[in-house]
Structure formats: structure tokens, C-alpha cells
Amino acid sequence: MTDDRPTGVDGDRLAVVVAKPRAQDVIDTLQEGGVYDADRSVTEHGEDAVAIPVTAPPETASYREVVRQVGEPRLRTLEDHLRERGWSDGEIDAAPGSWAVIGSVVLVEMGDAPRPGEVGDALLTMHGEADTVLARGGISSTHREPDVEVVAGEGDTRTVHREHGIEYGLDLSEVMFSPGNKAERARMGEIVDADDRVLDMFAGIGYFTLPMADAGAKVVAVEHNPTAFEFLLENAMRNGVTDRVQAYRADNRDVLEGGLDAFGDAPTVDRIVMGYYDATEPDGDGYAYLDPAIAALEPGGTMHVHEATPERLAFDRPIERIEDAADAQGRTVEVLDTRRVKGYSEGVAHVVVDARIE
């Protein structure tokens, strides 16, 4: 943190200067510290930095310098910006209600909004740390590939997203990234113990692997999508955790059938993360992923099972499936925690069950 802080200046005209790729992570820290000024815009500051408005010099965020920020107070909402562009009440009602800034990209579900390009331009005005706006569609195929369209800005879909001290390199046109899982990613880094042996099934670009490895856990990370796997390897290096991550580009079932030799003489693990929403689906007389996962779990180990569950079945369905798979192997289940992470689709919730398998 720099000590180069101007004095004698009204706090509501201050801004901290940070490198552009760090902008969203710093904004999150400033919001947590209660000093982010939402009434003013993030603005460019030179070629590689932005000035983030603050109400007072922050005590927790690192930055290059504190500067006086000039200019008019920003229009606070997307509605304000669209009205300035002449949108009617009916058109504004169809505008997006939420979006997320991922690195240098704004990711938004455009829905039935008219003139998506104008929405994109407004979002870029609101978020000076971003240079591209992507309209997000669905996720398709077994590789969970996103359907996105550039609607404004430079069109660069490759970025580095930073949150809770972890850097995620990714290409949002090729791999998925769920902003709604932010708290869950952070939580996984908080609950693991140093030297825990963890199996991260469906690891993606390292959503859960990276915070767990950063906390000291030893992680076997399995991902089948070749593009996501490349980012997984890159991100392990980017975060300095390659010595604690053993990555496999493979089907989880093949890795489990071959034995977890990455842990040497210990063929079982202390903790398993199943982050794929459909991994608990029954397969014939058993469960394609739950069965081998439970077999690989140390007695007393913990599973973190994600599922897209109809609201009326939450949390009964995932718990029943875990108990059924465990019972077939003569094991018992203690449910430790259940959480709704976010809405998945209409009437369907993304839920997580933490369970100890004895």
C-alpha cells in the first residue's frame, strides 16, 4: 500500500489508481471496506490503469496512488443511461436487470432487450475497467461450452479475472464462468485443511481447485474439456500452486477406475468436490459418478455435491441420491450443510450438499 495520499481534499472526490486487470478485485475489497463510491464512475488512468472512486483512502486494498478525480457524478443505473439515450419506459422494462464484470469483460443476459448494442455501450460507460460486453446465452454439450455474442467494445473475450486473491485466466467464448458461484469458490478455500487430499471432479479452469490448493490442499483436478484443461494448467502456474495440483484431462470414471496414484500409497481422498450439476443422475442400477466417488472417499471424508434441483425437491433429491449410493456400499451419510447457491433456471435451483461419508 502506498502512503502517497493527498490531504485536505473532500473524500467524495478521491480515487485510487490500480492496474486495469486488478480493478474488479479491488472494487470488491473497497465495497467490503465500505469506502467504494458508487456515485462516480471508474475511469481510465493512463494506458494500463483505472481510477476507482472512493469516499476515503482505503486501509485494506493495495493501490498505486490516491488522486483527485474530476468530472461529473456518474449516472448511477443502467436505467439512467438508457433514458439518456431516449429509451421508453416499455423498452427499459425489457432491459437486463443484472450483469457481472469478469476481468475486462461485462457478461450480461440480454433477454428481450431492444438495441443490445446500446445496452452494451451503456454498460461500458458504467464500468471503465471493462472493454468488452458479451451477451450470454446457454451452456451446451458435455464440455459445458458457453453461447456468447459480442455486443459492444473491443470484442476481446480472453481475460484474467481476480477474486479473493485468486487469478483465473479464461476465454469467455470457450469456457464457462459463473459469477453466482463467487461465494462458493471462496468458501472452498476457507474450509479445507492444509495437506487435505482432495479430488476435484469436473475441475474446469480451476474454479474450486485453485482456492483449495492456495490454502495448502493437495488436489487431483480432473477436466475433460481440452480448452478448460489448458486454462487449468495455466492457472495453476499463474497462482503458484503447480506443486499441489495434479491435473488429468480425462473422464472422472477412468481416473477413479485407474486408482488415485497421485497420492502415492493412499488410494483414497479426504474430500471430493462434484461441481457438475448433473453428476448425481442415476445410471442404470447405480450412479455413474457418485458410486466411484464414494468408493474413493476415506471413511469420515467429506463430499461437496452440486446439483441443479427443482425447487420442490431441494434438498431432498440430492441427499436421497447420496444416501442411496452410500448405502449400496455399506456406508452411512451425515449431512453437514445445505446451501442454495443461486437460481439455475425457472423453478430450478443450484444447490450444494456437504456430507460426511462414514
Residue list for the binding site for S-adenosyl-L-methionine: 178, 185, 223, 251-252
Q: For 172-230, what is the HEC assignment?
A: CCCCCCCHHHHHHHHHHHHHCCCCCEEEEECCCCCCCHHHHHHCCCEEEEECCCHHHHH
Q: Residue 264 contacts by C-beta under 8 Å, 6 or more apart in sequence?
A: none
| All cell numbers assigned to 110 | 440480454
Q: How far apart are CA 135 and CA 158, in angstroms?
A: 15
Q: How far apart are CA 130 and CA 244, in angstroms?
A: 32
Q: Which residues are annotated as a binding site?
A: 178, 185, 223, 251-252
- What is the DSSP secondary-structure string of 111-146? TT-S-HHHHHHHHHHHBTT--EEEEEEEEETTTTEE
3-state secondary structure of 291: helix
Q: Is there a contact between 279 and 318 (Cβ–Cβ < 8 Å)?
A: no
Amino acid at 26: V
Distances (CA, A) of 280 to 143, 269, 270: 17, 19, 20
